[in-house]
């Protein structure tokens, strides 16, 4: 969960998000070193009147400043491609949930169960219980088991939406007439918040996403209760 004046990312709640955080730190360090070097060169060029003929015309330096950026780009590209393919891997999901975007709420269908389907609306400010978050809490959460691969099929009924949960490292566009898929594994129990990340109309800011990760035993109890209510 993000907090006021937060500068970094949210704490990772999935292996993919942990990899993304590591890659962010890796890339940020490279950018920091490059910025420091460029700043030093600018200050040196401005503050000194001395010149060196070997710096003005030198094939060795030209070779270095051509090869060095290429090496740096490779150091950034290889980890990036690795994570990109990791995010697309969907191997034997234990649970499949279909998320359908509407103006302006989400519907969830647990396709492994015939009777579990519900709409998820934002809780109005006047109805919030103590401890609940304004503009983020919903009346029905998407409940998933922890440490189990979960596949999410994402689509929309009317306009473009985007199903995004930052703590899980998940963001997938919901396109009418198209079925996109993504997957995640929650590494710990908790409640993880997200919002629609594609401008979808007047109430775009009022269709939050809440994923509640619980141990398998509690998920089985929840699914049994949902089947009984259906």
Judged against a pLDDT cut of 80, whether residue 100 lies above it is answered with yes
**Same domain as 209, residue 164:** yes
Number of domains in the chain: 2
Q: Is residue 9 part of a domain?
A: no
* Residue 123 neighbours by CB under 8 Å, 6+ apart: 132, 137, 138, 139
Q: How far apart are CA 174 and CA 180, in angstroms?
A: 7
Q: How far apart are CA 136 and CA 93, in angstroms?
A: 27
Token pair of 221 as six digits: 């109890």
Judged against a pLDDT cut of 70, whether residue 218 lies above it is answered with yes
Least confident of 42-56, 174-188, 190-204: 42-56
**Same domain as 50, residue 155:** no
Residue-number span of the structural domain to which 170 is assigned: 95-229
**Same domain as 100, residue 80:** no
**Same domain as 220, residue 190:** yes
Q: Is residue 40 part of a domain?
A: yes
Task: Look at residues 62, 88, 114 and tell me which one is the last residue of a structural domain.
Answer: 88
229: helix, coil or strand? helix
DSSP state of 159: S
Q: What is the pLDDT of residues 170-183, one digit of tens each?
A: 999 999 999 999 99
Judged against a pLDDT cut of 90, whether residue 165 lies above it is answered with yes
**Same domain as 134, residue 208:** yes
Q: Is residue 1 part of a domain?
A: no
């Amino acid at each position: 969960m993000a907090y006021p004046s937060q500068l970094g990312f949210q704490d990772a709640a999935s292996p993919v998000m942990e990899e993304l955080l590591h890659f962010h730190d890796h890339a940020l360090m490279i950018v920091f070193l490059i910025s420091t070097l460029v700043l030093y060169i600018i200050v040196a060029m401005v503050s000194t009147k001395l010149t060196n003929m070997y710096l003005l015309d030198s094939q060795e330096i030209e070779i270095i400043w051509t090869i060095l950026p290429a090496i740096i780009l490779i150091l950034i590209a290889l980890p990036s491609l690795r994570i990109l393919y990791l995010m697309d891997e969907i191997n034997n999901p234990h649970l499949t949930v279909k998320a359908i975007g509407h103006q302006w709420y989400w519907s969830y269908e647990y396709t492994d169960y015939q009777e579990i389907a519900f709409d998820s609306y934002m809780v109005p400010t006047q109805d919030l219980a103590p401890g609940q978050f304004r503009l983020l809490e919903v009346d029905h959460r998407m409940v998933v088991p922890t440490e189990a691969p979960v596949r999410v099929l994402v689509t929309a009924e009317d306009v473009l939406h985007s199903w995004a949960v930052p703590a899980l490292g998940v963001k997938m566009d919901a396109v009418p007439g198209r079925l996109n898929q993504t997957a995640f594994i929650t590494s710990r129990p908790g409640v993880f918040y997200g919002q629609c990340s594609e401008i979808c109309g007047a109430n775009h800011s009022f269709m939050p996403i809440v994923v509640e990760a619980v141990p398998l035993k509690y998920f089985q109890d929840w699914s049994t209760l949902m089947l009984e209510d259906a």
